[in-house]
Structure 1
Amino acid sequence: MTNNKRLSQRGESAASKPLRMDLEIYNEAIQNRYHPSFKPEGTFPMTVAENHLCWEMLRDKMQEISRNQEIPEWVASYGDPAGVLTFREAISGFLGEFLVKDKIDPNTLACSVGATSVIEMTSFLLGESGDTAVIPAPSYPVYTADIGVMAGLKRFDLQTHHEVSELADGFPVTLSHLENAKKDIEEKGSRFRMLILTSPDNPTGGIYSENQLIQIADWCEKEEIHLIVNEIYGLTLIDIDHPEIRKDYPKAIEFKSFGGIMKERKSPYLHLWYSLSKDFGISGYRVGIFHSYNEQLIAGYRNIGLTHAISNHTQWLLQEVLSDQAFVKKYLKSFQQALTKSYIIVRSTLKKLQIPFNPSYGSLFVWIDLSALMDMQSKEAQHQLWLEIFQKTGILITPGNGFGHSKLGMFRVVITSVSHTELEVAMERFEKFYIEKNSETN
């Protein structure tokens, strides 16, 4: 019998599954973006996690470097697949100064083309096909593909709460949750291999306290489960002491990088993910970073990482940026101020309309509850509401599909993909829509 299939089973599966369920509408929105003069009825794409707030400042710095410095000869040659030493030294200096607040050995770092690559590589090296990664819900939808396509790991969405109000005092992840998940996974014939925490979180904007991370790390080390904390938004922090929002945090949690706990313990089971995509708004540069004291894991990463290696020119340019710590300090201050302003714009509208949401500590998002606008609590009603918001307002946000959470009617709003002026126009449109829709529903 002749096999007429043009692709492998893997190829056919890939061709039939879109990367994101909102990608087609996102591309439509991008082609029709709002402009106050040319497209006043245009759209506001607020669904893809991009940060456009301080790009001009960073671009000017990169242009200055390119004008005033010669490109070194090593840029044209092959380099260390895990990142050339001078680049890893610049990364270690940057992370040590601004994120971890302690010195980091560049030999504990491995770099590759974006956070997706780092997640995929780590999953491939730590887990066997059929193993399970546990992720507290709601969480980044594309984790499913990042851990599953190449490594073959399964995703377990850990339900720790239902209502957004339950996040008021931080993530309600307990050791009992983890014990029950382990039992459930093992009863189904799999192995609880990895626990992934994102702090600040996508989509809720919450953070894990240092004590909570210590307790979870204790449990994971005892159970020989790999704990990975994703700090891709580690410097995307909102000024929670700003007078307009201070009252939203009656029991404020201080962000502390997991890197400090890792350095103290140097455990082979504790790891950290980072990227320049979000804090610096350069997702197109494709720079992901893995930090671990597991020497065997770093060696494995290097040995199979050639296909994931970052362009040497990108490494050179960014090492020059990051080595200028006075500039980085100035940039981060400007970015965090702009981020806080964006958050306040969105928060003010949500408060005015009495829409439940989780007060963000950081990240690019606000996680909001629009279930009151749904006639029925169903995935179909949620999908229809998402489409209606876009069709009537031009605002494209992310529905709860794929985040793995039990509550329907939840939506993620990216607050950094448009300017402050554009964001204010978008919120005016949203307010008008919400009032009209709410009167119809009630």
Structure 2
Amino acid sequence: MSNSNSLSQKGKAASENPMRIDLEVYFDAMDNIYHTKDNPTGTFPMNVAENQLCWEMLKEKMQGISGKEEIPDWVTSYGDSSGVLSFREAIASYYSDFLMNHTVDPETLALSVGATSVIEMTAFLLADPGDTAVIPAPSYPVYTGDIGVFPSIKRYDLQTHSDIGELKDGIPLQISQLEKAKKEIEASGSRFKMLILTSPDNPTGGIYSKEQQEEVADWCIANHIHLIVNEIYGLSLIDTEDPEVSGDYGKHLKFYSFGNLMNKKKSAYLHHWYSFSKDLGISGFRIGVVHTYNEDFIQAYKNVGLSHGISNHTQWLLQEVLNDKAFMNTYIDSYQKALNQSYKIVRSTLQKLALRYSPSHGSLFVWMDLSEFLQKKTQQGENDLWLKVYEETKILLTPSNGFGHKQKGLYRLVISSFKHDDLRVAMERFSKFVLQQRAEK
């Protein structure tokens, strides 16, 4: 028997609002997934940000560790709720070797069960209910729930551009836009408490330059606003100098980790998010990391983070992987080559079809413009086209609902969900759909 009156107001809202609108269709697609021999007419769920490109390599490594290494006794005991020291040391070393150009202190790290948990905990500890987090649009739809459900923080979608064509030089975030947002938020009775940037970006694949980061960081520090940069795709980088794709970019930006700027400024208002879900393709392991020089924030995290703690066995297994530097070098090199190939397969299809897209500097996505096929330039029109693509091609894109951008007809495609041969099949289906729609016009 169901009775929503038995729930709290937050419970009632949770029962009525799905985490994301595409989940029901996603589970339908996962029950009928494409296989070249066993199910050649099957589906291509390409809406959830998962990386399947090099799992076999990582799986073999983990199975080797589990078969040869003795599980330490500390795995069965309670540990530091913000992550056991040996695992934080392994992550600090990984940061130093692969993400940031300096030595990272493990005492500046705190861990939780996945990126969602880290985002939720950060919002809870840095902002009060009713405060506002500003996020350049378009951006990850589930940020809304991550900062809103438990911390009760509002989301403000900052429009940094009006057309997808403005993204070839990176994300055009300007201080004047932040100043305008601050005035609007304060006029509404709220406080601009957090600015959340994702670099490489979800969904556009854009990155923020070193100069941009410095300018924005200085503004945030001066205004006592917490700047958090999410680098969950920090190693999922596209080779923008590859001759096949290099012509897409205006400025040839290089990825610059925000951790380097944090190390220089040591400000209590600068923070960094990461997770192993995307670069290592292990979203089911649930390992999220926050990096900060704010000692009070780290202490608060330790004091209230017990309910968000990661399994000790998971921490032990991954620290053994990370501590094998030769393996990690090989893995990252193999993964980036595979990701680049995936990007080129999708990009070449869009080029042949003369469809507009945001040139990607990194991430697992292509953000593309299908507005020419909209019956109506409305939210309902976008949803109708999204379902039409799925019904006619069995390719499930991410609908634009929740990304927060005003331009209509943009969709996200996950390029890392399938191996290259299967991805080519999906792109063939997609091409036929586009050509047929144009012919019917």
Give TM-score scaled by structure 1 length: 0.98
**Amino acid paired to 1:425:** V
CA deviation string 1:30-85 (max 9, x = no partner): 00001111111100000000000000000000011111100000000000000000
Residue in 2 that maps onto 1:25: 25
Q: Helix, strand or coil: the match of 2:322?
A: helix
1:430 aligns with 2:430: yes
The residue identity in structure 2 corresponding to 1:348 is: S
Counterpart Cα distance in 2 of 1:217 and 1:31:
45
* 1:128-277 aligned within 5 A: 128-277=128-277
Alignment of 1:399-418 (within 5 A): 399-418=399-418
Give me the whole-angstrom Cα distance separating, in 2, the residues matched to 1:440 and 1:153. 46
1:270-326: per-residue Cα shift (whole Å, max 9, x none)?
A: 000000000000000000000000000000001000000000000000000001111
Aligned residues: 439
Q: Name the SS of the counterpart of 1:5 in structure 2.
A: helix
The residue that corresponds to 1:7 in the other structure is: 7
Output the CA distance in 1 between the equivalents of 2:134 and 2:440.
Answer: 40
| Partner deviation per Cα, 1:375-397 (whole Å, 9 max, x = no partner) | 22111111110000000000000
1:199 and 1:39 map into 2 onto residues whose CA distance is: 37
Instruction: Read off the aligned partner of 1:422 and give its amino acid letter.
Output: D
Aligned residues of 2:227 and 2:269 also touching (Cα < 8 A): yes
- Provide Cα deviations, 1:80-114, integer angstroms capped at 9, x if missing partner: 00000000000000011100121000000000100
Distance (Å, rounded) in 2 between the aligned partners of 1:236 and 1:175: 28
**1:248-327 aligned within 5 A:** 248-327=248-327
Distance 1:168 1:35 in 2: 35
Distance 1:342 1:126 in 2: 38
Cα RMSD of the aligned pairs, angstroms, is: 0.9
Q: Is the partner of 1:399 in helix, strand or coil?
A: coil
SS at match of 1:19: coil
1:191-213 per-residue CA deviation (whole Å, 9 max, x = no partner) reads: 00000000000000000000000
Cα 1:435–1:291, aligned 2, differ >3 Å: closer, same or farther?
same
Distance in 2 separating the partners of 1:172 and 1:4: 44
| Residue type at the aligned position of 2:262 | M
Instruction: Provide the rounded CA distance (Å) in 1 between the counterparts of 2:40 and 2:318.
Output: 37
User: Which residue number corresponds to residue 48 of structure 2?
Assistant: 48
Matched, 1:72 2:72: yes
> Aligned-pair distance for 1:249?
2.1
The amino acid of 1:399's aligned partner reads P
Correspondence for 1:348: 348
CA contact (8 A) 2:235 2:279 kept: yes
8 Å Cα contact 2:175-2:219 kept in structure 1 = yes
One-letter code of the match for 1:325?
K
Alignment correspondent of 1:396: 396
Task: Indicate the residue corresponding to 2:381 in structure 1.
Answer: 381
Amino acid at match of 2:362: G
Q: Deviation digits for residues 214-248 of structure 1, max 9, x if unmatched? A: 00001000000000000000000011122211222
How do residues 41-120 of structure 1 correspond to structure 2 at under 5 angstroms?
41-120=41-120
Superposed displacement of residue 4, structure 1: 8.6
CA distance in structure 2 between the partners assigned to 1:385 and 1:104 by the alignment: 47
Distance 2:178 2:397 in 1: 31
Q: Distance in 1 between matches of 2:408 and 2:129?
A: 31
SS of residue in 2 equivalent to 1:358: coil
- SS in structure 1 of the partner of residue 42 of structure 2: coil
Q: Partner of 1:398: helix, strand, or coil? A: coil
Deviates more, 1:228-237 or 1:242-251: 242-251
Between the aligned partners of 2:74 and 2:375, the Cα distance in structure 1 is: 62
* Paired letter, 1:329: N
- 1:385-427: per-residue Cα shift (whole Å, max 9, x none)? 0000000000000111100000110000000011111110000
Work out the CA distance in 1 between the residues paired with 2:274 and 2:428.
35
Q: Which amino acid aligns with 1:327?
A: F
Structure 2 unmatched ranges of 5 or more: none
Q: CA deviation at 1:438?
A: 1.9
Normalised TM-score (structure 2):
0.99
Query: Does the aligned pair in 1 maintain the 2:4–2:12 contact within 8 Å?
Result: no
What residue in structure 1 maps to residue 338 of structure 2? 338
CA distance in 2, matches of 1:426, 1:376: 26
Residue segments in structure 1 that go unaligned for 5+ positions in a row: none
Distance 1:440 1:138 in 2: 31
- Indicate if the aligned counterparts of 2:339 and 2:416 stay in contact, CA closer than 8 A: yes
Shift of 1:439: 2.4
SS of the equivalent of 2:5 reads: coil
SS of residue paired to 2:6: coil
Q: Distance between the aligned counterparts of 2:267 and 2:330, measured in 1?
A: 34
Say yes or no: does 1:16 pair with 2:41: no
SS at match of 1:412: strand
* 2:329 corresponds to: 329
Bigger mean CA deviation after superposition, 364-373 or 376-385:
376-385
Distance between the aligned counterparts of 1:310 and 1:101, measured in 2? Answer: 27
CA distance in 2, matches of 1:114, 1:232: 11
SS at match of 2:119: helix
User: Cα deviation per residue 1:330-354 (whole Å; 9 max; x = unaligned)?
Assistant: 1000000000000000000000001
CA distance in 1, matches of 2:4, 2:45: 41
**Distance in structure 2 (CA, Å) of the matches to 1:292 and 1:4:** 40
Mapped to 2, the partners of 1:330 and 1:392 lie a distance apart of 40
Measured after TM superposition, the shift of residue 263 of structure 1 is: 0.4
CA distance, structure 2, for counterparts of residue 18 and residue 76 of structure 1: 35
